[in-house]
A and B are shown apart, each in its own frame.
Chain A
Amino acid sequence: MAGSIQDTFFEECEELLEAMDEGLTAIEGGDHDPEVVNAVFRAVHSIKGGAGAFGLDELVAFAHKFETVFDEVRANRLGLDTKLIQLLLRCSDHLSDLVATSRDGGSVDEAHNDVLVSALEEYIDEDEEEVVFQPMGLGGAFEMAPIEVEKERIYNIRFHPLKDMYGTGNEPYFLFQTLADLGTLEVTLDESELPGFDALDTDESYLIWALTLTTTESKSAIESVFEFVEGLCELSIESDMDEEDDANALAALEAAFGTAPEEGGDQVAAPFEPPVSAPEPEAVAAPVAAKAAAPKAEAAKSDQRGPNPTLRVDLERVDRLINAVGELIINHSMLAQQIANLDVADLRDVETELEGFKNLARDIQEGVMSIRAQPVKPLFQRMARIVREASAATGKTAKLITEGEGTEVDKTVIERLSDPLTHILRNAVDHGIEKPEDREAGGKTKSGEIRLSASHRSGSVCIEIKDDGAGVNRPRVKQIAIDKGLIPENADLTDSEIDNLLFLPGFSTAKEISNLSGRGVGMDVVKNAVTALGGRINISSTPGKGSVFTIILPLTLAVMDGMVVSVADQTMVVPITSIVETMRGSDDMVNNLGADGTLLSIRGNFVPVCDVGGALGLSKGDQDQPPGVYLLVETETGQRSALAVDDIHDQRQVVIKSLDGVCGNIPGVAAATILGDGKIAMILDPESILAASPSAAAFDTERRISNAIAS
């Protein structure tokens, strides 16, 4: 049981780390909005809290330092300069590592930890108490009431956990332990509430602790210990002296919160009431108000910030659901057909109901389909770290800019993209980006720029990694390839062929073995990983300007917008992203060029026509059909062509079903999908249809067509 709660904590951690990364990236990008700072602070704080509950001391210790520095930033006592931002980024990386080691075991790099901690400590005032005393969750600047912190005070704490507190996996022992760290702690158990054995409800919580803490810490430090059980316990903290100070602090607090009364209810209606007479509500009210204030400020910025609440589901379950919904829709169409066949006079009511059923089923289908696909954003966020680490290791400065983070790709694809991307990005920093002084000499900015973008293209996902570095050193690459015997000495290669030599196994351009590359793991590994995903990778480079790696991946199971067309009596889907324009053709638009060439005239421009049926080796049932419909498509190289199809039916979202492993690779076909009527439709790959010459597709498929149509 404890294990599963801990699992939940780590799952939450992932979301929190993501939020933290996102916030820090925004900060790095120049967004110093207090809300962003707050979001990061909250994330770190929550991780610390959770880690505390599970006794993950290393994690707590580091998160605490991290948090403390952030608190300074939040209170506007610390300016966010580049140096600090870099440190914070490195700390966030380290925090992820600590979370990972806490979860998976393994050892933490102690030296690295110490370096970061001492770097953080430079930012922390020597008098740390002042920092800890910061009230929670505000971010707005307000004047602190002067408070004496040196004096030892005795706090009488009455702590009554509610049953929900145990339900959320909190353990009083850890809380007491944290308290004991603040000073001298005496714990007394008050079991007076405990009913007789007969009346005992085993789910109820009866135990109350009376704690006496002697400490120099302020009251808010004690409150913050209990912060994570706030609302889950009855708590009162009374101090033996300096009530006035407390009252002052409270006044400052509440003046700053402003909104406190509506949240805190009746107790806070009298905000200046001394804590002794109403200690418990105040202890709780302040954090509650703080929490309430935060979402309010955030509401204005709404969705773009902070992680969406997510649910982790086994992929197999989702697949089962997708299949079941597919069946549901097929069943619907079969039912509809049978009802239509019934010899009944009045079917209107049934048909109306059936229509409702259909819409419902479609809604479910759409919802289910969208589960499997996930945006590449988390992956891209992880990549920012790779670039940071690589930059640090090579002494270069490089910045990662990401685009198209919202592009949705199948979850498995995202997971398996991580390694190849990591490798390419490391290479981009190590080999691509020049040293700062060299860049300046070349008239570039000191800091290199790597652009990582994702987009849907021609029914595929296109991931592009573009750096503004030196580009491929072609003479050197060629020489190395010759030296290694990979190509003959007199080989006459085009520029692009030379660039692609990088993907050859055993190729390495690194002059010496660096920390990052040159350890025999070359770009061929990247290529293999991409190929294993059914994709392809390309490099293009301009000397002095940089290189672009393009990874094209099939969508496997991703959701895609497609145009449903018919080709040679078959229903097919063309990815909408590749279609520029659609038009109905007329005879005078078609021009012949030579024996086989056909050009379509579009507003004075001529584009080549490709007969899809012919290219796929399917012939039309009716040869004398009038010219059909043309889909104007644009290829990766920007070349335009017109795909001739018989008709356009519909435009809809389809789930991509991979054909790999079913039928191997079929030229012209990217994947398949299942239409609402249960039939499978091919999803075309315009790029490869255009590449396939019509003559190469001379297959006798008429028999199969007739077979398919029959019965």
Chain B
Amino acid sequence: MQSQAEAKYDDSEIKHAEHSEFVSFTVAGQAFCLKITQIREIRRWSPVTILPHAPADVLGVMNLRGAVIPIYDLSARFGLQQTEASERNVVIVVSVHGKPVGLLAESVSEIISINPDDIQDTPPVDSRNTMDYIQGIISHDETMVRIINLDAVITAPEQVIS
């Protein structure tokens, strides 16, 4: 009895080692995902305070329990059209370079478990941005989910506003 339980436990451990969990969400109608460990929390969209002289993909700043965090419009960041403000929108709070940063997405879909072997390299396309921002792609439920290279999307704060 006991050995069975142990065996089961070991099994799940191995599974963990092989699989990583990702949170998928949509940005401008496309499916993207981030490793679940990169995400600190997901919040409902609330109005932000705009930053003067900020580039178009920096929506502004938001109050996260007393901390001022910048909010980026992922869609604009990827060179897609800007996200329409909607109550369904979510802010995904991630930590980049030790600082919390909010990313605006249309909606969060689900948590998916991905085997590293299933991650495909991004096929070369004629877009510098895309190549930098997308770490790889996976096929999930017959849709293509893009894995975001967070460090490339959000550069160090100094470089954001020139």
Contact = CB atoms under 8 A, between A and B. Distances in A.
Interface of A: 322-327, 330, 570-571, 616-618, 657, 659-669, 672, 674, 678-682, 697, 699-701, 703-711
Given A616-B52, A666-B161, A682-B52, A704 B68 contact: no
25 contacts: A326-B63, A326-B66, A327-B65, A327-B66, A657-B67, A663-B51, A663-B70, A663-B161, A664-B157, A664-B158, A666-B51, A667-B52, A669-B51, A672-B68, A674-B66, A674-B68, A680-B63, A682-B52, A699-B52, A701-B52, A704-B56, A708-B48, A710-B85, A711-B85, A711-B86
A620 to B, nearest CB: 14
A666 B61 contact: no
B47 interface: yes
A700 B53 CA distance: 9
A388 B112 CA distance: 68
A682 to B, nearest CB: 7
A704 B59 contact: yes
A323 B65 contact: yes
Contact of B49 (A324, A661, A681, A710): A681
Interface in B17-40: none
B68 A659 contact: yes
Given A704-B60, A707-B59, A323 B47 contact: no
B99 interface: yes
Contacts of B67: 323, 657
B64 to A, nearest CB: 9
B82 interface: yes
Which of B47, B63, B89 gathers the greatest number of chain A CB atoms within 10 Å?
A: B63
Given A664-B158, A679-B63, A708 B50 contact: yes
B92 interface: no
A261 B120 CA distance: 92
A680 B65 CA distance: 11
A707 B58 CA distance: 12
Interface string B71-106: 000000000001001110100000000010000000
Given A657-B67, A706-B85, 13 more contacts: A326-B66, A327-B66, A661-B157, A663-B51, A663-B160, A663-B161, A669-B51, A678-B63, A680-B49, A680-B60, A704-B54, A710-B85, A711-B47
Nearest to A692: B53
Interface string B132-161: 000000000000000000000000011111
B108 interface: no
Interface of B: 45-54, 56, 58-63, 65-70, 82, 85-87, 89, 99, 157-161
Contacts of A681: 49
B99 A661 contact: yes
Nearest to B44: A711
B49 A682 contact: yes
A668 B54 CA distance: 12
A681 B62 CA distance: 10
A327 B66 CA distance: 7
Contacts of B159: 664
A477 B127 CA distance: 53
B63 to A, nearest CB: 5
A704 B157 contact: no
Contact of B53 (A662, A699, A706): A699
Contact of B68 (A322, A330, A662, A710): A662
A218 to B, nearest CB: 61
A663 B58 contact: yes
Contacts of B50: 570, 618, 701, 704-705, 708
A706 B59 CA distance: 11
A680 B85 CA distance: 19
B151 to A, nearest CB: 16
A667 B63 contact: no
A666 B48 CA distance: 17
Contacts of A678: 63
Nearest to A660: B157
B47 A709 contact: yes
A667 B54 CA distance: 10
Contacts of B60: 680, 704, 708
Contacts of A667: 52-53
Given A662-B70, A663-B160, A705-B50, A680 B45 contact: no
B106 to A, nearest CB: 13
A666 B63 CA distance: 18
Enumerate the 10 nearest inter-chain pairs by beta-carbon distance, A residue then B residue, closest first.
A323-B66, A616-B52, A710-B85, A326-B66, A680-B49, A664-B161, A707-B85, A657-B68, A704-B50, A680-B61
Contact of A666 (B45, B53, B56, B82): B53
Given A680-B49, A708-B47, A663 B54 contact: yes
A665 B49 CA distance: 16
Given A661-B157, A663-B58, A326 B65 contact: yes
A571 B63 CA distance: 14
A663 B66 contact: no
Which of B45, B60, B62, B159 gathers the greatest number of chain A CB atoms within 10 Å?
A: B60
Given A663-B61, A674-B63, A711 B45 contact: yes
Contacts of A616: 52-53
A659 B68 CA distance: 7
B99 A708 contact: no
A11 B41 CA distance: 40
A669 B47 contact: no
Contacts of B51: 663, 666, 669, 682
A710 B104 CA distance: 14
A661 B67 CA distance: 12
A668 B86 CA distance: 30
A404 B51 CA distance: 33
A326 B53 CA distance: 27
A703 B82 contact: yes
Contacts of A707: 48, 59, 82, 85
Which of B53, B69, B70, B82 gathers the greatest number of chain A CB atoms within 10 Å?
A: B53
Contacts of B158: 664
Nearest to A675: B63
Which of B48, B50, B52 gathers the greatest number of chain A CB atoms within 10 Å?
A: B52
B72 to A, nearest CB: 11
A307 to B, nearest CB: 30
A388 B66 CA distance: 43
A241 to B, nearest CB: 72
Contact of B52 (A330, A661, A669, A711): A669
Contacts of A659: 61, 68
A668 B61 contact: no
A322 B49 contact: no
Nearest to A701: B50
Which of B58, B69, B85, B86 gathers the greatest number of chain A CB atoms within 10 Å?
A: B85
